[in-house]
């Protein structure tokens, strides 16, 4: 099982040994260590992974889980 944690004003932390990240062609990114973090701020120079730039730019995000809300599945 994988867990993705939306970090406060930071990246998506991805935990789980059974998770892979692929590009639009289905090519797999090499993941050097786990858990790993995916960029949410858009400023990483190592996308799709977080490189810590969110702290330098003062990234702030407002989203948080809302009880009872549902998201649509990705297509
Ligand atoms: S969330 Fe960390 S660099 Fe974008």
**11 CA distance to ligand 1 middle (Å):** 5
**pLDDT averaged over every residue in the chain:** 93
Q: Give this prediction's pTM.
A: 0.87
Section 50-54 average pLDDT: 98
For residue 55, which atom of ligand 1 is closest to its CA?
A: 2
* pLDDT for the residue numbered 63: 78
12: nearest Cα among 20, 3, 24: 3
**Span 30-48, pLDDT tens digits:** 999 999 999 999 999 999 9
Q: Is 39 in the pocket of ligand 1 (CB under 6 A)?
A: yes
Confidence tier at 10 by pLDDT (50, 70, 90): very high
**61 CA distance to ligand 1 middle (Å):** 11
Question: Which H helix or E strand runs over 56?
Answer: helix 53-57
Instruction: State the DSSP code for 42.
Output: S
- CA 75, CA 67: separation in Å to the nearest integer? 23
- CA 50, CA 68: separation in Å to the nearest integer? 29
Q: Is 43 in the pocket of ligand 1 (CB under 6 A)?
A: yes
């Amino acid at each position: 099982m994988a867990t993705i944690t939306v970090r406060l004003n930071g990246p998506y932390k991805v935990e789980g040994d059974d998770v892979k990240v692929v590009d639009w062609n289905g090519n797999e990114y090499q993941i050097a260590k786990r858990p790993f973090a995916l960029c949410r701020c858009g400023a990483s120079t190592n996308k799709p992974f977080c490189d810590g730039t969110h702290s330098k730019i003062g990234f702030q995000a407002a989203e948080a889980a809302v009880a009872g809300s549902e998201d649509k599945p990705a297509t």
